[in-house]
Amino acid sequence: MELICDSCGKRWEMEPNFWRCACGAPLRWDLKVYFDLAAIEERNWSIWRYRAMLKLPENAQTVSLGEGATPLIPTPEKQSWLKLEFLNPTGSFKDRGASVLVTGLKAWGISEVAEDSSGNAGVALSAYAKVSGIDCRIFVPKGASEGKIVALQRFGAQIVFCSNRQEAAEQVMIAVQSGIYYASHTWHPLYLQGTKTVAYELAEQLDWIIDENWSVFIPVGNGDLLLGIHLGFQELVFSKVIKRLPRLIGVQALACAPIYAAVHNLTLPFNRTVAEGVAVTDPPRIRQIIAAVRETDGDIVAVSEPSILNAVDELAGLGFWVEPTGAISWAAWNQLGKPPKSILILTGAGWKTLKP
């Protein structure tokens, strides 16, 4: 059994019908993947160079747009690094999860999918669904960035506008009950098989020398990136490719920071934030996120709206056009005094926000 329920402890095999446990709780992967350095496909410059380490349905045929293999470049003082995830095909790290998920859905014969998303996850899913011949319906909260809406339209998604993210989550479940497959970046276990490749890449790009002295700053809303990175590093330690887990620093916008509040035992109001991609008031995997951060001796940090906007400008000054959600890792790194041996994940492209 490969999947474990967070709540009741029941174990499941990976099957198309089980994107969550029968009790309603999220599933997590059991740690059984052995990372074999010799199995890396050296000539494949995408996440699929690690295909041997990805859990997939039998006979799955890869659906890829060349996602992954994003640059890792030094910060100006040369003591930390920037991971340029906004250079993925549709402009965010979500392409990693979408590629693996759609590969699985295609193998299972799924013909129509639905997703609730403020933008990046929906854009990625619609692009990969498009090239796979899968119909795609995206439930989007009003106020989502214009650039993301235009991208959804370009990739042929059917867009359903909702008043907020909560309504989007409710409406997508009505669609799922009518028979459309729920291709969720938040819930589906296959998504984490894609996002865990960030950890693989970071370790490889640093010559497999990464340990508890390193910190990885990760924007967190629903947590699919942080949990994927945690899973990937766990597998690398399990396989003795690296010695210890690096510290995971989850970053939230202070205006909407339920995980930060839970970790630090605070009561905070929820307000609108420019970092719309992490504006999640009730993340289903919050227990998993907190457990991952604590296991790595990491932390959850919250950053203010002015600091987020300043981070966007500072990154632009370095030549990087990053959306506010993607810039919050830089804001947190600044807030903590720019500690050395840090890796900042810049998750989404600035063209998706359009407004200065």
CATH of 72-89+190-352, one of 3.40.50.1100, 3.40.50.2300, 3.30.70.120, 3.10.180.10: 3.40.50.1100
- For residue 166, what pLDDT is reported? 77
- For residue 352, what pLDDT is reported? 76
Radius of gyration of the chain (CA): 19
- For residue 325, what pLDDT is reported? 95
Q: What is the tens place of the pLDDT at every residue in 233-263?
A: 999 999 999 999 999 999 999 999 999 999 9
- For residue 141, what pLDDT is reported? 84
Q: What is the tens place of the pLDDT at every residue in 131-156?
A: 999 999 999 888 777 888 888 999 99
Do residues 136 and 105 make contact, with C-beta atoms less than 8 angstroms apart?
A: no
Distance of alpha carbon 260 from alpha carbon 328, whole angstroms? 14
Name the residue type at position 134. Answer: I
Distance of alpha carbon 76 from alpha carbon 73, whole angstroms? 9
Mean pLDDT calculated for residue range 29-54: 95
* Pairing assessment for the beta strands 72-74 and 81-84 based on DSSP bridges: antiparallel
Burial-class residue 163 by CB neighbours within 10 Å (0-12, 13-18, 19+): exposed
Distance of alpha carbon 331 from alpha carbon 253, whole angstroms? 10
Q: What is the pTM (predicted TM-score) of this model?
A: 0.96
Inform me whether the pLDDT recorded for 33 exceeds 70: yes
**72-89+190-352 and 95-189 agree in CATH topology:** yes
Mean pLDDT calculated for residue range 183-188: 94
Name the residue type at position 6. Answer: D
- For residue 63, what pLDDT is reported? 97
- For residue 354, what pLDDT is reported? 67
Phi-psi region of 88 (alpha: psi -120 to 50; beta: other; left: phi over 0): beta
Distance of alpha carbon 167 from alpha carbon 146, whole angstroms? 19
- Which of 132-141, 213-222, 270-279 is predicted most confidently? 213-222
Summary mean pLDDT of the chain: 94
Task: Name, in order, each residue with C-beta under 8 angstroms of 89's C-beta and a sequence gap of 6 or more.
Answer: 65, 66, 67, 95, 127
- For residue 170, what pLDDT is reported? 87
Mean pLDDT calculated for residue range 25-32: 90
How far, CA to CA in Å, does 116 sit from each of 61, 131, 162, 227, 312?
26, 20, 10, 19, 26
pLDDT over 70 for what percent of the chain?
A: 99
Phi-psi region of 340 (alpha: psi -120 to 50; beta: other; left: phi over 0): beta
Q: Nearest-CA neighbor of 311 among 253, 263, 233, 231? A: 253
Distance of alpha carbon 109 from alpha carbon 226, whole angstroms? 29
- For residue 355, what pLDDT is reported? 65
Distance of alpha carbon 18 from alpha carbon 15, whole angstroms? 6
Question: Side-chain half-sphere of 352: how many Cα atoms within 13 Å?
Answer: 33
Q: Which residue has the higher pLDDT, 245 or 32?
A: 245
pLDDT over 90 for what percent of the chain?
A: 82
- For residue 268, what pLDDT is reported? 96
**What are the domain boundaries of the chain?**
3-52, 72-89+190-352, 95-189
Domain covering 95-189, topology: Rossmann fold (3.40.50)
Mean pLDDT calculated for residue range 332-343: 98
- For residue 1, what pLDDT is reported? 61
User: What sign does the CA torsion over 101, 104, 105, 106 have?
Assistant: positive
- For residue 316, what pLDDT is reported? 97
Q: How many angstroms separate the first and last alpha carbons of the chain?
A: 49
Say what angle helices 94-107 and 224-238 make with each other, to 10 degrees: 80
Burial-class residue 237 by CB neighbours within 10 Å (0-12, 13-18, 19+): middle
Please provide the DSSP assignment of 158-223 as one string: EEEEESSHHHHHHHHHHHHHTT-EE--TTT-HHHHHHHTHHHHHHHHHTTT---TT-EEEEE-SS-
* Pairing assessment for the beta strands 342-346 and 215-219 based on DSSP bridges: parallel
- For residue 329, what pLDDT is reported? 98
Mean pLDDT calculated for residue range 98-104: 98
Mean pLDDT calculated for residue range 332-338: 98
- For residue 356, what pLDDT is reported? 56
Q: Which two tokens stand for residue 23?
A: 């009790």
Mean pLDDT calculated for residue range 7-12: 91
